Homo-oligomer: A and B are copies of this chain.
Amino acid sequence: METAIISHKDRGLRSVLLDLETKILFIGWFPGWSKDIAEPSTTLVGTGFDAGTNHLEYEFYEHLAIHKIIEKTVNAEREGLDGVVIGCFYDPGLREARELVEIPVVGVCEASLHVASMLSAGKYSVLVGRRKWIPKMADNAKIYGFDSKIASWRVLDLTVPEMKDEEKTQAAILREARGAVEEDMAECVVLGCTGMAGQAMRAQEELGVPVLDPVLMGVKVAEMRAALWKRYGISQSKIGGYEPPPADELGPIYKKAYGKK
């Protein structure tokens, strides 16, 4: 893979010779085909949540997952990776991870809603597995700025484990996505769970509106952010809400929590 001189040199800035390969960690349910969605210059590495649960539908399970998400993100930075995708539509641990590292950290819900907002003149809908999920996700959407962009939250009535039945899931996606487009005037549909990953293309072809796969959205946004980070040093601000603890205070606390510094 080639390197390139990225510079603002006609503005008197320093020229830098950069390696343009990026390596991104995807934490979560990582289907085999996911590697294929990365750009040629990206190496996408997958790892599970290791939360001891087979889904994260509940706040408590999310809490357990966050513990590992933090550790995996910190390790990713230490090992020189260029970005992390948190692969659950609740965006668990997004704040915690961004606080502790400088490399880009992306949540699949945040990424999906940003893209959907750019694709829709009006509103879009989000499909979730169960009603249970909506309040937390809707609060996140509000915090991200998108509450007025969401036409509806629609429920598949499927748990995450049930989503392994791909045909059943596709049928539910089609049913609710069609309702969103026809009844709620959605212009775009977001699949609100990585358990639905891989199902977007079929629905998009059937419905004729963009249907967004959260895994794909997370990876594409992470690639963009990794490029901004590697070449321009642009990542989440460390002044304000993502300010990290002082290193000397953090060290022993982190060590106690994870058994190593």
Instruction: Give the B-binding residues of A (Cβ under 8 A).
Output: 1-2, 4-13, 20, 31-33, 36-37, 39-41, 52-53, 57-64, 66-67, 70, 93, 95-96, 98-100, 106, 110, 114-115, 117-124, 131-132, 134-136, 138-139, 142-149, 166, 181, 185, 187-188, 198-202, 204, 208-210, 212, 216, 220-221, 223-225, 227-228, 231-245, 250, 253-254, 256-257
Contact = CB atoms under 8 A, between A and B. Distances in A.
17 contacts: A37-B231, A40-B41, A52-B257, A58-B250, A60-B245, A60-B253, A61-B245, A64-B257, A115-B228, A119-B234, A120-B135, A120-B240, A121-B241, A142-B148, A201-B232, A210-B236, A223-B224
Contacts of A122: 134-135, 138, 240-241
Contacts of A209: 237-239
Contacts of A228: 115, 216, 220
Nearest to A32: B10
A221 B227 CA distance: 11
B20 A39 contact: yes
Q: Max chain B CB contacts within 10 Å: which of A6, A40, A148, A223?
A: A40
A143 to B, nearest CB: 5
Query: Chain A interface mostly helix, strand, loop or mixed?
Result: helix
A114 B145 CA distance: 10
Given A39-B227, A58-B99, A253-B61, A237 B70 contact: no
Contacts of A147: 148
Contacts of A144: 117, 145
A237 B118 contact: no
A118 B232 contact: no
